[in-house]
Structure 1
Amino acid sequence: MGRLSATSVKATKEPGCYGDGDGLYLVVTPSGSKSWVCRVQKNGKRRDIGLGSVKKVPLPVEPKRLCLRLNWCRPGERPQTQPD
């Protein structure tokens, strides 16, 4: 984990999906907005869970911590409703 740095996130302008490892992705839209997505797979079904805008959820810690937490959920649990 850790292929994206705060500097590289800020410099990324090309639309696309950029993986950081362990299911964390930076998504850049054609309009230039940037957001974090955590990709999880449970029971053979893939799901992308939005973590928020890059402005509101900055690197280096917060999106990685959220994504790791979502990946640790037990099968059958709804990741976005897990308590702190």
Structure 2
Amino acid sequence: MHPEQIQTLIEQGLPGARAEVSGPDGVHFEARVICAAFAGQLPLARHRMVYAALGELMGGAIHALSLKTLTPEEAARA
């Protein structure tokens, strides 16, 4: 699996999201996801939203995914 594929799936599954995904070995990935829908959500809920966008790939083609989830306001401050 390529990082670009994961980026596309996240952005399609979370309308308005921007994702940056890296993962040189093809099974372990890191993603930074910025999405307005994260506002008011706890980190676990945000992660679940991303996992839902990836569906069955989690635990399969995507062995591990490290997430940093931010609202646009949080990203602007970072």
Larger Rg: 1
Q: Which has the higher helix share?
A: 2
TM-score under structure 1 normalisation? 0.29
TM-score under structure 2 normalisation? 0.31
- Greater relative contact order (Cα < 8 A, sep 6+): 2
Q: Which has the higher strand share?
A: 1
